[in-house]
Amino acid sequence: MADAVLTSHPAAGVEPFGPRPRRVFSRRNIFLYGTLIMVSLYYLLPLYVMIVTSLKGMPEIRFGNVFAPPLEITFEPWVKAWSTACTGLNCEGLSRGFWNSVRITIPSVIVSIAIASINGYALANWRFKGANIFFTILIVGAFIPYQVMIYPIVIILREMGIYGTLTGLVLVHTIFGMPINTLLFRNYFASVPEELFKAARVDGAGFWGIYFRIMLPMSLPIFVVAMIIQVTGIWNDFLFGVVYTKPETYPMTVQLNNIVNSVQGVKEYNVNMAATLLTGLVPLIVYFISGKLFVRGIAAGAVKG
Amino acid sequence: MTSVLVKDLSLSFGAVEVLKKLNLDVQQGEFVVLLGPSGCGKSTLLNCIAGLLDVSTGQIFINGKNVTWEEPKDRGIGMVFQSYALYPQMTVEGNLSFGLKNARLPREEIAKRIARAAEILQIEPLLKRKPAALSGGQRQRVAIGRALVRDVDVFLFDEPLSNLDAKLRAELRVEIKRLHQQLANTMIYVTHDQIEAMTLADRIAVMRGGLIQQFDSPQAIYNKPVNRFVAGFIGSPGMNFLEGSIAAGPAFSADGVDVPLARYDFTATPVAGQKVSFGIRPEHVALNSGADWPFSARVKVDVVEPMGSDTLVWTKLGSHNLAVRVPTERMPASGDTVDIGFDPMRASIFDSGEGGRL
């Protein structure tokens, strides 16, 4: 009779024990991994084409084998894109645009995050009079299309005497980054237990004391999230860059556009590809360095407690 | 001497009135527990005393000083929270010293106070650890330490033991009581746990709907509740209530039950025919005692609930359910016929309308 008990599971022939058996090539796995591989290819193929093209010389490109790896690797196009590519009259390459972008991005990111985090902290923890109205206005601000505000801002900057300067563009980026970042920080700080804030008040910490000594050290992940959003957003910006600056102060994206779209002579695809990759490098590096913190920050903001 | 005095305190959030002209007078060195169901305003009252909420009207005095407009740090209070509220990025030592550094105390003084608090609470080995590396009981001890180092006259506890498991809660309860005996500070303690309230308090303020229903010693609240709410809220298992009316004699009469009330200590003059609730605690009803009680009856056992040391025996008196608490060794079986009896002197009688004690 004992045998009958042991073979009571006719399908497998064994008594179920431990984890359920899983087949590697199940229909589910094939579908899942098949989809993932397809999607990855779809996104990675253009990048691959760009990289190989940027490493080829012009004669090789004329053969027309877009997907073929370079026969002879050359970094000439990268050097040209960085230092000698021409936009209109001057031929300094992307390097000037790069430094302009750095000078725009760094102050914009620092100032906008500093202000937005204080805004979010005040809105979440110090329920001052009119806080809700202020917050509503800020959120509505996030939904107004940029194009509507372009011309009024031109006039405002002109009246302030900073139209066409980097300061003007920094100011514009700071203001436009405010709604989304304030929302981000407010929600994060609102998820910090209220009793912590109360305890700090009983301990005699004031507005700034609580912000710097309690809230700030607890919220590194959300600062990283805000930093990534701001760095990529401002670095990749084209519209504000082209409207509010002059040729000497063009950011990298505008200069890239001018290089790629210049109509004199032959189209140097390898230089264009190299220039594009160079421009995209900064956000890419930021993602790779802080990707883990980014995910942690997003999750921390989303889940209460 | 009065330590904390709350005078005609009201607080509204929009249209919701959370506290309604509330008065509370806490003596120096007294342990007062604010007890009540969720939403009765007990935590709100504590937050007002701490200065974490602005009051709508009324005044708060601490040690004779009007602190209604003072910041929490200037009120001479220390506070312990339910969720511990330790600063996660600081060590235990950092947590204890945070308030003192904000007050710009000299370094030696801070070290002295931390050493003393750590010794009292036996947390010396934990000083260099972060809160994440502590157990729940240790965290709450550190939170108490943070109030202790402030060297204040009044301690405020906001449900400090509610996040702990039953065993730790019992341990820390005793420790808080010991701490109070040692320090002799004024302590105001919010809880919804009546065992905590009964064991810790010198006086209990039972709250409901933003008002204090009764403010008295645990014994008085247990034996002579002022109204039906307090009677029903205090005691576990709860008081039995029989609905009926006053008959001549005076006596209490409900369908088929007549209890003589000659020995009952009335606080108001009963009127014959008045509708009343007659309350008697399960432990004040005797079962098969053989003694001669002013009221006795023969009833059938419905259900028996053994609870370890005691057993709750459910019977029917007339149409009312009646619970009787007996030692487990004298537990009857369900279906048995038993004799019950009690002394109306131990009972509480409440007006059926307003619920006030008669």
Indicate if B64 and B199 belong to the same structural domain: yes
Q: Give buried/exposed letters for A126-158 (b at 16+ CB in 10 A, else e).
A: eeeeeeeeebeebeeeeeeeeeeeeeebeeebe
Residue where a domain terminates, one of B229, B263, B292: B229
Task: Tell me the C-alpha distance between B19 and B212, whole Å.
Answer: 10
pLDDT at A1: 46
Residue A205: left (phi > 0), alpha (psi -120 to 50), or beta?
A: beta
> Chain A contact for B99, CB < 8 A?
yes
pLDDT classification of A296: cutoffs 50, 70, 90: low
pLDDT at A10 over 60: no
Indicate if B251 and B311 belong to the same structural domain: yes
Of A233-247, A256-270, B100-114, B296-310, the range with the lowest mean pLDDT is A256-270
Any domain includes B225: yes
pLDDT classification of B31: cutoffs 50, 70, 90: very high
**Cβ–Cβ < 8 Å for A84, A93:** yes
Task: Tell me the C-alpha distance between A82 and A97, whole Å.
Answer: 10
Question: Domain holding B330: CATH number?
Answer: 2.40.50.140
pLDDT at A90: 73
Average pLDDT over residues B231-243: 91
Helix/strand/coil for B105: coil
Indicate if B166 and B59 belong to the same structural domain: yes
Q: Which DSSP string do the residues of A156-199 spell out, in sequence order?
A: HHHHHT-TBSHHHHHHHHHHHHHHHHHHHHHHHHHTS-HHHHHH
Structural domain range at position B157 = 2-229
Indicate if B47 and B13 belong to the same structural domain: yes
| Percent of the residues in chain B that have a pLDDT greater than 90, as a whole number | 66
Of A7-21, A159-173, A289-303, B168-182, the range with the lowest mean pLDDT is A289-303
Q: Which domains are delineated in chain A?
A: 27-74 (no CATH), 95-302 (1.10.3720.10)
Nearest to B37 by CA among B157, B155, B140, B159: B159
Residue B184: left (phi > 0), alpha (psi -120 to 50), or beta?
A: left
Of A297 and B277, the structure prediction assigns the larger pLDDT to B277
Nearest-CA distance from B98 to chain A in Å?
A: 7
Question: Domain holding B174: CATH number?
Answer: 3.40.50.300
Of B202 and A76, the structure prediction assigns the larger pLDDT to B202
Residue where a domain terminates, one of B178, B201, B229: B229
pLDDT at A4: 47
Indicate if B214 and B253 belong to the same structural domain: no
pLDDT at A261 over 90: no
pLDDT at B178 over 70: yes
Indicate if B251 and B132 belong to the same structural domain: no
Burial class (CB in 10 A: 0-12, 13-18, 19+), B187: buried
pLDDT classification of B206: cutoffs 50, 70, 90: very high
pLDDT at B29 over 50: yes
pLDDT at A224: 87
pLDDT at B285: 92
Average pLDDT over residues B19-30: 93
Nearest Cα residue in chain B from A220: B89
Average pLDDT over residues B139-164: 92
pLDDT at A302: 44
Any domain includes B56: yes
Place of tokens 């594009």: A276
pLDDT at A13: 66
Nearest Cα residue in chain A from B78: A202
pLDDT classification of A263: cutoffs 50, 70, 90: low
> Which long-range contacts (C-beta less than 8 Å, at least 24 apart) are formed by B261-265?
B261/B344, B261/B349, B262/B294, B262/B344, B263/B294, B263/B343, B263/B344, B263/B345, B264/B344, B264/B345, B264/B347, B264/B349, B265/B345
Of A63-67, B19-23, B92-96, B275-279, the range with the lowest mean pLDDT is A63-67
Residue where a domain terminates, one of B195, B229, B263: B229
Nearest-CA distance from B78 to chain A in Å?
A: 7
Any domain includes B357: no
Judged by CB atoms closer than 8 Å, whether chains meet at B102 and A198 is answered as no
Count Cα atoms within 13 angstroms, Cβ side, for B9. Answer: 30
Continuous segment of H or E residues that includes residue B59: strand B57-62
**Which residues, at least 6 apart from B144, have a Cβ–Cβ distance to it below 8 Å?**
B80, B121, B160, B176, B179
Task: Tell me the C-alpha distance between A232 and A85, whole Å.
Answer: 24
Any domain includes B285: yes
Judged by CB atoms closer than 8 Å, whether chains meet at B52 and A217 is answered as no
pLDDT at A14: 75
> Chain A contact for B41, CB < 8 A?
no
Residues in A closer than 8 angstroms to B79, CB to CB, are 198-199, 202
Distances, alpha carbon A238 to alpha carbons A19, A67, A86, A99, in Å? 54, 30, 19, 16
Indicate if B131 and B248 belong to the same structural domain: no
pLDDT at B119: 92
| Percent of the residues in chain A that have a pLDDT greater than 90, as a whole number | 41
pLDDT classification of A303: cutoffs 50, 70, 90: very low
Q: What is the DSSP letter of B40?
A: S
Average pLDDT over residues B319-329: 90
Any domain includes B356: no
Indicate if B149 and B39 belong to the same structural domain: yes
Nearest-CA distance from A201 to chain B in Å?
A: 6
pLDDT at B57 over 90: yes
Indicate if B8 and B107 belong to the same structural domain: yes
> Chain B contact for A199, CB < 8 A?
yes
Residues in A closer than 8 angstroms to B52, CB to CB, are 198, 201-202
Average pLDDT, chain A: 86
A26-36: per-residue pLDDT in tens? Answer: 888 899 999 99
pLDDT at B22: 92
Indicate if B59 and B196 belong to the same structural domain: yes
In chain B, the number of structural domains is: 2
Average pLDDT over residues B243-252: 87
Indicate if B59 and B88 belong to the same structural domain: yes
Indicate if B175 and B77 belong to the same structural domain: yes
Work out whether strand B257-260 and strand B310-317 pair parallel, antiparallel, or are unpaired.
unpaired
**Cβ–Cβ < 8 Å for A271, A77:** yes
Residues in B closer than 8 angstroms to A200, CB to CB, are 87, 98
Average pLDDT, chain B: 91
Of A76-90, B13-27, B31-45, the range with the lowest mean pLDDT is A76-90
Of B355 and B8, the structure prediction assigns the larger pLDDT to B8
Q: Which DSSP string do the residues of A120-135 spell out, in sequence order?
A: HHHHHH---TTHHHHH
Q: What is the DSSP letter of B357?
A: B
Any domain includes B234: no
pLDDT at A2: 47
pLDDT at A300: 54
A189-210: per-residue pLDDT in tens? Answer: 998 889 999 999 999 999 999 9
pLDDT classification of A102: cutoffs 50, 70, 90: very high
